[in-house]
Amino acid sequence: MAAFLKDLQSTPPFNKLDASEIEAIEKTAQIAYYPDNTVLIEKGSVEQKLYYIIKGVVEARDGDELIDLYQEHDTLFGAELLGNQVSKYQYSVAQELICYEIPYKTFKELAEQNSAFRDYFIATIAKRIDTIKEKSEFASLGQLMTARLDTIALHSATIVKANT
């Protein structure tokens, strides 16, 4: 695990932590394995761990709709843990997952002690929200551009006099 911690120290947001803060992670975190199709968290649940992906892919889904993908070096649930929020999506393993699990208590203490560490998660969630919003707007525009004219409800024109 010591070799992995050295790698972790060079990766955002963990590169914002000092030696004692990294040591706190070393004492409390675990390396975990999850096979394909494992549900990490159900929609509406509250997570109690921060996940750092070493290898694998995790999907965030809202029903059948794919919302986001998390891959190597991504963290999961940082913003949710900061706000103690319920999950808006179901997170499941798309490709077998090896990850570092940091308990909520350790994560919360680090975020309270180190504002740069905490701010990383706030900025990351803002970026992800913008990306999801852009994808949604693009999808709506795509639907409009590919709509068949014969399926659109047409109304008679309304003629208004110029002096009205």
Domains of the chain listed by start with CATH number? 2-151 (2.60.120.10)
List of residues 6+ apart from 161 with CB closer than 8 A? none
Q: What is the CA radius of gyration of the chain?
A: 22
- Does residue 59 surpass a pLDDT of 90? yes
- Does residue 86 surpass a pLDDT of 80? yes
Tokens of 9: 């120290």
Contact 33, 96 (CB under 8 A): yes
Report the C-alpha gap between 94 and 76 in whole angstroms: 14
- Does residue 140 surpass a pLDDT of 80? no
| Residue found under tokens 């808006």 | 88
- Does residue 153 surpass a pLDDT of 70? no
Residue 118 backbone class (left: φ over 0; alpha: ψ -120 to 50; beta: rest): alpha
